[in-house]
Structure 1
Amino acid sequence: MCEPFAHRVAEAYRWPVDELARLLEQAGLAEVERVCRGQEGDRRPYAVPAARAVA
């Protein structure tokens, strides 16, 4: 489930990366890369999947 959070510009959402990857696959996309960053001081960890259309 996504989690809303206050962003400087507009409300944004955190998604569990595995759930987001599953939704991308259901939409016909294939994950080709995932960039992850661990906890760094006050900065939260994050992961960003990159996907492309499946031919």
Structure 2
Amino acid sequence: MSTENFDGAALLLKYKDHNGKTHTEYIIGYFEKGYSGEASITIKSVRPNGKLEMDIHENTSL
């Protein structure tokens, strides 16, 4: 949830693999108040250790 003081941010997906290691994927690298858009994440496969192989497509605009 954003507040009046919100200037800009990135949208991240964080998850843990089977070994408890945290992985971070940038879904939207940067956006700010007034932006609109969408993101699509397709999980293509899961490695034996639990790491995700994915395609990320995003589209943002003012």
What is the TM-score when the length of structure 2 is the normalising length?
A: 0.32
More helix per residue: 1 or 2?
1
What is the TM-score when the length of structure 1 is the normalising length?
A: 0.34
More strand per residue: 1 or 2?
2
